[in-house]
């Protein structure tokens, strides 16, 4: 389904950029859950919540709508935003490999990478000099501190660990996911190569221009979002999802209402029911406000 393009325009008054109201087609039915990807979607270009997001998104609760964070990030990489928005909902982390119950601090669902395949990917990365990060127990490890590790740490505000050999992680420490971080112009080539190498045995995707991510083949944000909706006894027809990248496709396909960001990949826009403004322009807040899902009178 081709996305419906947003109607909005910018104009400048006394040096400030203002945005006219966003116009979107009316929704066909109620929405009980709104799921949002983080980087490139909910977070702005500085990888933080905008003032508008912090102020307006908690209003969803006043309408009886639950907000769910769904990201490739670790749980710890989403906690600060979960807290800023005063949420009590589960966190979908690692592209759906882990659903974490924040209220009770326990895993609702966890699907790690098969250990033998993780070991093979670690060996390929080592042989080819690729920077690979190994995620286990909501922490990550790599064999060298370099600019790629610092890029990831800077974006997530998390600190990784350096070890001599990732192959030292045994079968009892199978990773929740792995990431190769590389030049953006090489990322898709590596995705294609690793998909050819592992076939359907691993889920390989991109989440940021530099990230090539590896998960269990049954993992997806769409599956995880369905698990969360089932726990709340909410039909998927009453779930809305926002995203911008390839790893969001399953979530948008599963949701009854799918919304791509203006800055999203072209393929995702084609998949989505609607297209909102970019993450730089508070696209989520603008769309929710246009649909009347935020508290009135703001």
pLDDT at 18: 38
pTM (2 d.p.)? 0.89
Digitized pLDDT (tens) for each residue of the chain, 298 residues in all: 445 555 544 433 333 333 445 788 999 999 999 999 999 999 999 999 999 999 999 999 999 999 999 999 999 999 999 999 999 999 999 999 999 999 999 999 999 999 999 999 999 999 999 999 999 999 999 999 999 999 999 999 999 999 999 988 988 999 999 999 999 999 999 999 999 999 999 999 998 999 999 999 999 999 999 999 999 999 999 999 999 999 999 999 999 999 999 999 999 999 999 999 999 999 999 999 999 999 865 5
Q: Could you tell me the two tokens for 233?
A: 């006894």
The Cα-based distances of 297 to 59, 110, 187, 293 in angstroms read: 11, 41, 45, 12
CA distance 67 to 112: 25
Task: Report the C-alpha gap between 239 and 36 in whole angstroms.
Answer: 11
pLDDT of the residue at 1: 45
Superfamily of domain 10-18+29-111+220-290: HAD superfamily/HAD-like (3.40.50.1000)
| Domains of the chain, residue spans | 10-18+29-111+220-290, 115-214
Q: If DSSP states are collapsed to H, E and C, what string results for 30-59?
A: CCCEEEECHHHHHCCCCCCCCHHHHHHHHH
Please give the CATH architecture assigned to the domain spanning 115-214.
2-Layer Sandwich (3.30)
Tell me which H or E stretch contains 42: none
Strand-pair category, 33-36 with 274-275:
unpaired
Decide: 48 and 156 in contact? Cβ < 8 Å.
no
The answer to whether the CB of 78 falls within 8 A of the CB of 197 is no
- Taking only Cα atoms into account, the Rg of the chain, rounded to an integer number of angstroms, comes to 19
Contact 254, 272 (CB under 8 A): no
């Amino acid at each position: 389904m081709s996305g419906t393009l947003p109607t909005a325009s910018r104009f400048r008054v006394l040096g400030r950029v203002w945005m006219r109201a966003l116009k979107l087609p009316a929704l066909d039915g109620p929405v009980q859950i709104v799921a949002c990807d983080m980087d490139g979607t909910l977070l702005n270009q500085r990888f933080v919540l905008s003032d508008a997001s912090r102020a307006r998104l908690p209003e969803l609760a006043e309408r009886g709508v639950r907000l769910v964070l769904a990201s490739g990030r670790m749980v710890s990489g989403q906690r600060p935003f979960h807290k800023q928005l005063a949420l009590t909902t589960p966190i979908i982390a690692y592209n759906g490999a882990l659903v974490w119950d924040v209220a009770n601090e326990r895993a609702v669902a966890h699907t790690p990478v098969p250990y033998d395949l993780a070991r093979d990917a670690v060996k390929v990365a080592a042989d080819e000099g690729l920077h690979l990060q190994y995620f286990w127990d909501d922490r990550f490890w790599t064999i060298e501190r370099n600019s790629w590790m610092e890029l990831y740490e800077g974006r997530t505000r998390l600190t990784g660990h350096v070890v001599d050999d990732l192959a030292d992680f045994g079968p009892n420490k199978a990773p929740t996911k792995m990431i190769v971080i590389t030049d953006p112009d090489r990322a898709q080539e590596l995705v294609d190569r690793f998909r050819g190498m592992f076939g359907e045995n691993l889920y390989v995707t991109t989440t940021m221009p530099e990230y090539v991510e590896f998960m269990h083949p049954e993992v997806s944000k769409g599956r995880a979002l369905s698990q969360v909706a089932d726990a709340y006894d909410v039909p998927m027809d009453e779930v809305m999802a926002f995203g911008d990248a390839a790893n969001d496709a399953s979530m948008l396909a599963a949701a009854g209402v799918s919304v791509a960001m203006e800055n999203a990949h072209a393929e995702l826009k084609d998949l989505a029911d609607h297209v909102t403004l970019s993450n730089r322009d508070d696209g989520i807040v603008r769309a929710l406000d246009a649909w009347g899902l935020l508290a009135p009178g703001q």
